[in-house]
Amino acid sequence: MSTITAAITAVGGYVPDYVLTNKILETMVDTNDEWITTRTGIKERRILKDKDKGTSYLAIQAAKDLLSKSNTDPKDIDMVIMATATPDMPVAATGVYVATEIGAVNAFSFDLVAACSSFLYGMSTAARYIESGKYKKVLLLGADKMSSIIDYEDRTTCIIFGDGGGALLFEPNTEGYGVLDEYLRSDGIGRQSLKIDAGGSLLPPTAETVAKKQHFVFQDGKTVFKFAVSNMADVSEKIMERNNLKGVDVDWLVPHQANKRIIDATAKRMKLPEEKVMMNIHKYGNTTSATLPLCIRDYEKQLKKGDNLVFASFGGGFTWGAVYVKWAYDPQ
């Protein structure tokens, strides 16, 4: 019997209409366009302004985009994995609601939470379910309404994050396309460096935690940057070595869009020229769980069957890793 691999067979994405530019941020906090651009590579980010819509809305739109583009019947989906750091609410998983709303009535669903590595870990999870032979269509969604947890008076974080959603469909393949290898890591040393202090079981919400702004993202930028630069490059290099890939063999790096300098450092270690690196951070900022699928959505028409892709990510926790994928189809 031939080996089953999990191939990516369809892509979808969604970003809200409202564009928050660096120029607008200049009127909100003490910063400027040049400072933001040179340090992060970000020019603008999208914000979901509607107070009545949460992360589920972003995920539903991304899923609908994938379903319509690929002509997939939602009833055929066996499983929906919802990668997110900003679920609609605690306890009731966002993915469950999303699956029902898109008509995936025969699927089961759950949320996967690993900060900015949520989608990468989700790719590994989706692949295992496909490889088991029991599941034929696994929909992996990555979405975050980061604006809901950002303090727009904190210039260290408000310049970085944006809102968005992305989707990939995984299906069985017996021709050697799809997820071929992964190297995933985590280390609790990062617990204090990137976090939201309050709102969990350790520090439940009170009037005091709200007044102290403890429900917003805190980031120790220097520490996170240092770990991200070395670790994202390390795992990307390792997955290449393990699969006997040189820079010339890799067609695309699909990096988490956190900071252009981190992306550049990873590409340099992999000996990849700029034209082989997927980049949309200038348009969307860091959309956390949506960065990787939004890259694929933006570059889908440039991908060719058999292309070697290395996905790489780094996130709070710390969590990080790389996934090696052989692309399964030519541009439609």
Catalytic center residues: 116, 256, 286
> Quick check: 256 and 314 in contact, CB under 8 A?
yes
Amino acid at 317: G
Residues 6+ apart with CB under 8 A from 45: 19, 20, 161, 162, 163, 284, 285, 287
> Quick check: 324 and 182 in contact, CB under 8 A?
yes
Nearest to 44 by CA among 20, 28, 15: 20
25: left (phi over 0), alpha (psi -120 to 50) or beta: alpha
Amino acid at 140: L
Helix 260-269, helix 33-40: angle, nearest 10: 30
